[in-house]
Amino acid sequence: MRNFLKKIIIFNRFISYDVVKTEEFVKKVARQIEKNSKILDVGAGLCPYKKYFQHADYVSQDFCLNGDNMDWDFSHINIKSDVHDMPVKDNSFDYILCTFVLEHIKYPQKAFREFSRILKKNGKLFLVAPLVAGEHHEPFDYFRFTKYGLKLLAEENNLKVISIKKQGGFFIFLSQTITSLPHYYFKNDTIEKMFYILLYPVNFVIAFICYFLDKIDRTKIILSYECIFEKKD
């Protein structure tokens, strides 16, 4: 019951747009994955998406370093390494999943080279990367990516662009910034939660309105991009 209420109140598409949108993308990916195919979840962290790939051979990877205010247990991770230097044989995976990880990689060009190396022919890379986002998982936060940068990284490493779609525009960015203000201004967890609860009704109304305004957004402010790339040969 508690988890159900948490999902309804906090992790809904208005308050937690990026979380919900990315999960929808991953679910769509999971439906494309054939039974017993091999998929690598790069930067898997706590492996929140593993449950969607029970029909596949799911392998997790992470560099297993906690950022500020984090205390994650990485004992469940299969491959503990940097993304740009994974102890994996060439042409090992049918698919790669990489969500909100690319910004934490020191050498994104090398990461894409590694993706291409370990993917089988016609294998696909499913990736989500931010363009506009506050610094997070510090100090391991290095880059932001335009669609042109993502396209360049792919094409320079033998990966064909299948699609690059935006996740959220100016109004989603606005509502998420307003919703996050207690987190940025109050370092004490108790005070942060108190203000989050007090401001929730107002924030929800703002987020609800912004969600629908975003559908007519014409700015070039993009929250993040969800991408599908395919290895050429």
Q: How far apart are CA 178 and CA 192, in angstroms?
A: 13
What average pLDDT does the structure give for the chain? 93
Q: pLDDT tier at 4 (50, 70, 90 boundaries)?
A: low
Helices (H), the chain: 2-9, 17-32, 108-118, 147-155, 170-179, 181-185, 189-213
| Measured CA distances, 139 to 62, 131, 135, 168, 189 (Å) | 16, 18, 9, 25, 20
Q: What is the pLDDT of residues 195-221, one digit of tens each?
A: 888 999 999 999 999 999 999 999 999
**Percent residues over pLDDT 90 in the chain:** 82
Q: What is the pTM of this model?
A: 0.93
Rounded to 10°, the helix 108-118/147-155 angle is 50
**Among 67-71, 92-96, 178-182, which stretch is predicted with the lowest mean pLDDT?**
67-71
| Domain architecture of the chain: domains with CATH | 18-169+224-231 (3.40.50.150)
pLDDT at residue 20, as a whole number: 95
pLDDT in tens, 109-120: 999 999 999 999
